Amino acid sequence: MTPISGKTKLFATLGHPVTHVLTPQKLNTLFAKRHYDGVMVPVGIAPGQDLATFAASIRVMQNFGGAVVTVPHKTAIVSLCDRLSHRAEAAGAVNVLRREADSSLTGDLLDGVGFVNGLKNAGEVIKDRRIFLAGAGGAALAIAFALAEADAAHITITNRSQDKLDDLTTRLKKSFPDLSISQNGNPDKHDIVINATSLGLRENDPLPVDPAHLHPPMLVAEVVMVPEQTPLLKAASQAGCRTHSGRHMLAGQLSAIFDFLTAE
């Protein structure tokens, strides 16, 4: 790693909690590998606290390059951006934020790209598959759009909040009017089951789906990275399903994150 100096670009992984995040470690390794003078650190801001203060602060930090945005700020940060990529605007969520030379903030959404790349890198096929997606937050928004772009045959979405579920469904239908979409139900008769919620981060979290509905040859996939073997993946393995850990999503978007954050 290049020694930190007055020329070093500063980056952050923004979320709550941040004790589990792996992005700073991965990006710092990539910075060193590509001989880029930058450093990323975790920054914890609890939900309900002032994200606007954070955004205003980084606007005046001339050596601040940008941030990776994680749970629970991916949708709240949208209104603080000056410009958005098409997919971030359509989904209403941001997971990467770049400070431009004029102090403006640009947001993009790469989670879905990373998730789909992770599946493809593992040899999985999305085209014509029936997908069951648990969650309707920022990660779920990104993944749902990326799955639609990858020609999934059908997406069933479930979420505890009906308002968020309706919002995601409406956004998907607007961008992909021919996509087959349904709400709630269970994973039966689906090819791929995805947990796009934060359930599994904490030891006593309930399972995001009922394991009684998991059976081979389903693939059960996670966005939670730590622990790598979440309770859902353990239950899926016990049911005879193939599993796919959350670390694949980060690996699938590392280069895209680097390119976005370091673009001049």
Which among 240, 220, 239 is positioned nearest to 230, based on CA atoms? Answer: 220
What is the Cα–Cα distance from 46 to 44, expressed in whole angstroms? Answer: 6
Catalytic residue among 7, 74, 127, 173: 74
- Give dist(CA 142, CA 171) in Å, integer: 11
Q: Could you give the CA distance from residue 209 to residue 188 in angstroms, rounded to a whole number?
A: 11
Q: Decide if 140 contacts 166 (C-beta within 8 A).
A: no
- Determine the distance from the C-alpha atom of residue 181 to the mean position of all C-alpha atoms in its chain, rounded to a whole number: 21
Is 74 noted as a catalytic residue in this protein? yes
Residues forming beta bridges with residue 96, ordered by sequence position: 68, 108
Comparing CA positions, the residue from 48, 47, 35 lying closest to residue 9 is: 35
- CA atoms of 229 and 200, how far apart (whole Å): 9
CA angle 87, 90, 92 (to 5 degrees): 100
**Catalytic residue annotation:** 74
